[in-house]
Structure 1
Amino acid sequence: MEGPGNKPREMRIVGWREKVDLPELGLRGVPAKIDSGARTSSLHATILGEFTRDGERYVRFAVDYGQQHVRQICEAVHIDIRGITSSNGETQRRMIIKTPLRLGGLTFRVEISLADRSDMRFPMLIGRSSLRRRFLVDSGHSWLQTRGETPVAGHKP
């Protein structure tokens, strides 16, 4: 790939699953499925309410870590409500937030839809809009950008 000014752009390689941090939300080590077929990233959340602070709209939501029996209450600027088509073809109206995401050594702002992902294996999905011009996906490996995890070849559901 070539970046601005025809200089080669370094692309990092991610596996089909990685752990990410959402530092402004206080979330670390969130298991995420990398899904280049999905446009928008998504986070499992239960909406608790909306409010205004200093003229900006915010959303308060809970992120449950079922295996650890932990609930993290988060607040973020609510930037939009959009129709998002899920993997089963259903369109749902979802709240969208924008927050920094850390994947490997990179931290960058992403738009994330808040959704009920309780029936999904991963509480977070990283879509192609977040990956674009930053990462290439190696679907045959896991944990390529996750510190503390040994990279794994192959797919083990």
Structure 2
Amino acid sequence: MKTFDHLSVIGLREWIALPELGMVGLRAKIDTGASTSTLHASDIVQFEKHGERWVRFTAHLGTLVQRRHRCEAQVVSVKTIKSSNGQAQTRYVIRTLLALGDRVWPIEFTLACRKTMRYRVLLGSKALVQAQLVVNPALTYVQEKPTISLLGAQ
């Protein structure tokens, strides 16, 4: 069996932060079957800022206690995504910094309604490849929660 010492291990679920969106303490589920990561959002409104396309949306945090957070982000693209049940949906794609453990890097998120899902954030395979992360699905919350001091350093 090959081992890869230069790769960091994460579990099936991890604590993350999205510092550019002002969100800390999010639980994310790792979904290696999904290419792009997804963030639960509602009230999505497109607008123009400095001649570029942006979206304003409400991000929903937490599972038992719902918290809402208003966000704005530049639109990178619009994608048609086929969900696991085979339905196609058009979604806005944004790029923002993701903090997981002691790492911070930019990734793309599609914005979608995940109100019936247990996890409000899915991390897809592109985000894992960018950070050279390996998933051990037998583990959860392997990495420490991102700290405020780490986020302030970015």
TM-score category (smaller protein): 0.7 to 0.9
C-alpha separation in 1, matches of 2:89 and 2:113: 11
Match of 2:57 in 1: 61
SS in 2 for 1:24: helix
Instruction: Map 1:129-144 to 2 at 5 A.
Output: 129-133=126-130, 134-144=132-142
94, 98, 103: which is aligned to 2:95? 98
TM-score by length of 2: 0.86
Q: Which amino acid letter does the alignment assign opposite residue 134 of structure 2? A: L
The gaps in structure 2 that reach 5 residues or longer are: 147-154
1:145 pairs with one of 138, 143, 146 = 143
Moved over 2 A (4+): 64-70
How far does the alpha carbon of each residue in 1:69-89 deviate from its partner, in whole angstroms, 9 at most, with x for none?
Answer: 421000000111101111112
How far residue 147 of structure 1 moved from its aligned partner, in angstroms, is: 2.9
Contact 1:47 / 1:59 at 8 angstroms: preserved in 2?
no
Distance 1:99 1:20, change over 3 A: same
Percent of pairs with identical residues: 38
Q: Is residue 100–residue 145 contact of structure 2 (8 Å, CA) maintained in 1?
A: no
The whole-number CA distance in structure 2 between the counterparts of 1:96 and 1:62 is: 15
Q: Which one is further off, 49-58 or 137-146?
A: 49-58
Q: How does 1:8-27 map to 2 (within 5 A)?
A: 10-27=6-23
Distance between the aligned counterparts of 1:123 and 1:104, measured in 2? Answer: 19
Q: Is the 8 A contact 2:77 2:92 kept in 1?
A: yes
C-alpha distance after superposition, 1:86-133 (max 9, x if no partner): 111211101100111011111111010000111111000000000015
Q: How many residue pairs end up in the alignment?
A: 142
Residue deviations 1:23-63 (CA, integer Å, cap 9, x gap): 00011111100011110100000133111111221100001
**How much does 1:9 deviate?**
7.2
Q: For 1:47, which of 43, 46, 52 is the aligned residue?
A: 43
Q: Which amino acid aligns with 1:10?
A: H
